[in-house]
Amino acid sequence: MRKKVRILALTLISIFLLTACGSARTDYNGYSEQDIQSVIQKTAGQLQALSADEARQYQNYYSKNTKEENAAVYAEMFKNWAENRDQAGDFQDYGKFTLSKSGKTLTATQILKYSKRDLKLTYVMKAKTMEVTSINIEQVYGLGETMGKAGLNVLMGMGTVFFMLILISILISLFKFIPGSGASVKKPLIDEFLEEDEDEGEDADDLELVAIVSAAIAASTGSSTDDFVVRSIKRRY
């Protein structure tokens, strides 16, 4: 097993050395875009010969033998292949190839067409040395599937927010049952204030009524309000 893994790894690593010869035009540290595309397609060819179970064995090997050259890169690559191989179906053809450079990083992507679902094989390299830092394999989703996942994420996010708001409202409503909390003392204070306000309102009404009655008596008798005192008023309803 270990010998087989070493042979496969050396094959993948040596691809860059083999493709440098005979390049018509070199743009990326001595390699052309066609060279890099050829590397990725040869890597894909190596992976297509592996089943998901075999890929997991390679993943376990590189995960345990971290001192191997590019162990982390290969462990991740075999893990991706094991996770996506069975969902892809049968290989049909190579699709679109893209190559882009951003700062010191070079990213090459090759679409692999399969009968059930296409896969995307991505190489990430250092532009100056062409050292491979990551090899990623993922499924390609259509626009409808992407929008569906985005909508589901939005709904889950909104649901989480509403749930938290409801939970906070419930917690706030329970504060009145906690001894010593602000909610438990506010109600008596408010009631007391309202009672005082009602008493003051009744006193004000009585004074106004006394003034009206005094003015009526003074007008009917022709006397002054200073000549008599209204001591009580009996209400009849």
Q: Where are the domains of the chain?
A: 2-140, 145-174, 178-227
| pLDDT at res. 204 | 57
| pLDDT at res. 203 | 57
Q: In sequence order, which residues have a C-beta less than 8 Å from that of residue 27 and are 6 or more positions away? A: 33
| pLDDT at res. 171 | 84
| pLDDT at res. 123 | 92
Radius of gyration of the chain (CA): 43
| pLDDT at res. 214 | 74
- pTM > 0.75: yes or no: no
User: Which residues are paired to 106 by β-bridges?
Assistant: 101, 125
* Per-residue pLDDT tens listing for the chain (237 residues): 554 555 455 455 544 444 444 444 557 777 888 888 988 898 888 888 888 999 999 999 988 888 877 888 889 999 999 999 888 889 999 999 999 988 889 999 999 999 998 999 999 988 888 888 899 999 988 766 667 777 778 888 888 998 898 989 888 888 777 776 555 444 555 555 555 555 555 555 667 776 777 777 777 776 776 666 666 666 665
Number of C-beta neighbours around residue 99 at 10 A? 18
Four-way CATH pick for 2-140: 3.30.460, 3.10.450, 3.40.228, 3.30.70? 3.10.450
| pLDDT at res. 189 | 54
Cα gap 161→17, rounded to integer Å: 54
The one-character DSSP state at 233 is: -
Angle (CA) 153-157-163 rounded to 5° is 145
